[in-house]
Amino acid sequence: MGGIEELLSGLRLFLGVKEVLLAGVGVLLGITIGVLPGIGPLLGVILLTPFCLKLSPVAGMSMLIGVYVGGSYGGAISAALIRIPGTPIAAATLLEAYPMAQKGRASEAVGLATSASALGGLIGGVFLIIAAPQLARVALKFNPPEIFALTFIGLTCIAAVSKGSTAKGLIAGGFGLIIAMMGTDPFTGYDRFTFGNPNLTGGIRFVALLVGLFAISEMFIQIEKGLKGEAITKKLEPMWSSLKDVLSKPVNLIRSSLIGVGIGAIPGVGAVTSSYISYSAARSASEHPEKFGTGVPEGVVATEAANNATCGGALIPALALGIPGDPITAVLIGALMLQGLLPGPQLFKLHIDIVYGLFIAYIVCNVFLWIIGTSLAPLWGYILRTKKNILMPVIILLSILGTYAVQMSMFDIWSMWIFGVVGYAMRKTGFPLAPLVIARILGPIVEPAFRRSMMFSGGDITIFLTRPISLVFVIIVIIILTWPLFKFLLKGDLRKKKIFSS
């Protein structure tokens, strides 16, 4: 597993006109989506997932990976030009990119962001190619108890680090697991939670759930908040020399990329955290930390290299273990599953050529990111001027048609609206959406692993504690679950002291 032969087999799958073209199209769409505040790469990947079903796995996934990579970078452009990050991932980039733009160095700021993102992403890709096969090799030795405990870590991690309370994250995850159970029981063949409706025999369609929960609820919230356009006065020029500028300070680049890869590989943490940590590290290591916040190029490089390297890091557990690190990788896993491929060690065993095809697609997407991001720099300012009151109905129509296109079923559209309402209600009441989606993806793995473990042990639940690897995973789950309780008790203690001392 892993080697020159596998790399060549992946290259053979990727080096087709369609695959390369779609990777480029994906990057272009991703950057465009990332530039527009309020849209984001997650929405882009969700809306394009139905298109993947009509393409080969490598072609379809190349497009989605392109959107992921491009979208992770695109937010830096609006952060520099209008002080609004196009995506939350670019929030840390704003700290230096906007002041640079204010000083008339907008093109330089965006050029640095482009080159740093591409190079950070490439470094992330190298780690992906090295680490993922090794992790999959280890995971092949796992039996149902280890698989259950490991996927449970993924679920609890996502819930614990989601926005809002951990309890609400876990509740959302719980409902996601229930939704995953809808349909035919894989062990008995009888229906569960279908209410006699034949449309539910196969469960709730993943695309309908995803589009409704994220896209539709987001559109409703955007309409509710009011749709205002932005006045852009700065014009961007292509800055090809930025690549040399980024490479001239390799320590900053490599440190930031390593932070991104490391944090990306931990489920639930994400690119926002990695970019802030990388920014802090760059400031600490700088000879003039007091200048940070006034438009320091090293700050832009640190944040953008980290947040794009995170993409590569997040794909390591996603492909090797089938555990998504964030909602976007959850959608990517879902897209692979829709094409009949189950991410995890079996994917590496049975379809190693496709796996390496995806690795190469990821590398090529980062190269395209640099080429397209730099050459089309003047275009991004124009895109920011797009009126949201034109864009929103288009996105809603795309959501409806994309959902319909999967099975040409009106039932799927109605499911999408229901989850749109659910997603809106969840956002208004402080429930994170990611745990529900990730639980929906992991549910078909978690439940069979648990039931097989029970069959294997004759109903003895201590099997998860008697097997060493499973025991380690269970301890990690307990730490993740009890940590917020310690934090809460500590916070309460401090507040009491404050009240009594005042």
Residue 191: strand, helix, or coil: strand
Question: In this structure, how many other beta carbons lie within 10 angstroms of the beta carbon of residue 399?
Answer: 28
Query: According to the binding rule CB under 8 A, does residue 495 interact with other proteins?
Result: yes
CA dihedral 440, 442, 443, 448 (to 10 degrees): 160
Q: Which is nearer to other proteins, 238 or 448 (CB)?
A: 448
Show the 3-state SS of 234-256: CCCCCCCCHHHHHHCCHHHHHHH
Query: According to the binding rule CB under 8 A, does residue 496 interact with other proteins?
Result: yes
Residue 224: its H or E element: helix 217-225
Smallest gap from Cβ 376 to other proteins, in A, equals 21
Smallest gap from Cβ 327 to other proteins, in A, equals 21
Query: According to the binding rule CB under 8 A, does residue 467 interact with other proteins?
Result: no
CA neighbor of 53 nearest in space, from 438, 405, 437:
405
Query: According to the binding rule CB under 8 A, does residue 501 interact with other proteins?
Result: no
| Pairwise CA distance, residues 255 & 306, whole Å | 8
**26-65 burial by CB neighbour count: b if 16+ within 10 A, else e?**
bbbbbbbbbbbbbbbbbbbbbbbbbebeebbbbbbbbbbb
157 Rama sector, left if φ>0, alpha if ψ -120 to 50, beta otherwise: alpha
Q: What is the DSSP string of 307-348?
A: HHHHHHHHHHHHHHHS--SSHHHHHHHHHHHHTT---SHHHH
Q: How many residues bind other proteins (CB under 8 A)?
A: 62
Give the one residue of 20, 84, 178, 266 binding other proteins; rule: CB under 8 A: 178
Query: According to the binding rule CB under 8 A, does residue 152 interact with other proteins?
Result: no
Site string for other proteins, 411-430 (x = CB under 8 A): --xx--x-----------xx
- What angle is formed at CA 342 by the lines to CA 187 and CA 22, rounded to 5 degrees? 145
Q: Which is nearer to other proteins, 187 or 483 (CB)?
A: 187
| Pairwise CA distance, residues 73 & 166, whole Å | 29
Query: According to the binding rule CB under 8 A, does residue 458 interact with other proteins?
Result: yes
Smallest gap from Cβ 237 to other proteins, in A, equals 31
Q: Which of residues 44-103 bind other proteins (CB under 8 A)?
A: 51, 54
Q: Which is nearer to other proteins, 235 or 385 (CB)?
A: 385
Question: In this structure, how many other beta carbons lie within 10 angstroms of the beta carbon of residue 17?
Answer: 8
Give the one residue of 23, 263, 447, 464 binding other proteins; rule: CB under 8 A: 447
Smallest gap from Cβ 178 to other proteins, in A, equals 6
Query: According to the binding rule CB under 8 A, does residue 226 interact with other proteins?
Result: yes
Question: In this structure, how many other beta carbons lie within 10 angstroms of the beta carbon of residue 473?
Answer: 22
| Pairwise CA distance, residues 69 & 365, whole Å | 7
Give the one residue of 4, 17, 104, 225 binding other proteins; rule: CB under 8 A: 225
| Pairwise CA distance, residues 410 & 413, whole Å | 5
Q: Which of residues 287-346 bind other proteins (CB under 8 A)?
A: none
Indicate the length of the chain as a whole number: 502
Give the one residue of 11, 140, 337, 400 binding other proteins; rule: CB under 8 A: 400
Smallest gap from Cβ 101 to other proteins, in A, equals 29
Query: According to the binding rule CB under 8 A, does residue 408 interact with other proteins?
Result: yes
Whether the CA torsion 243, 247, 249, 253 is positive or negative: it is positive
Q: Which is nearer to other proteins, 177 or 305 (CB)?
A: 177
Place of tokens 């509710």: 224
Smallest gap from Cβ 188 to other proteins, in A, equals 4
Q: Which of the stretches 21-29, 60-68, 260-268, 443-451 binds other proteins when contact is defined by CB under 8 A? A: 443-451
Q: Which of the stretches 3-11, 39-47, 332-340, 391-399 binds other proteins when contact is defined by CB under 8 A? A: 391-399
The residues that touch other proteins, with contacts defined as CB under 8 A, are 51, 54, 165, 167-168, 170-171, 174-175, 177-178, 181, 185, 187-188, 190, 192-193, 216, 219-221, 223-227, 387, 389-390, 392-394, 396-398, 400-401, 404-405, 408, 410, 413-414, 417, 429-430, 447, 450-451, 454-455, 458-459, 461, 488, 492, 495-496, 498-499, 502
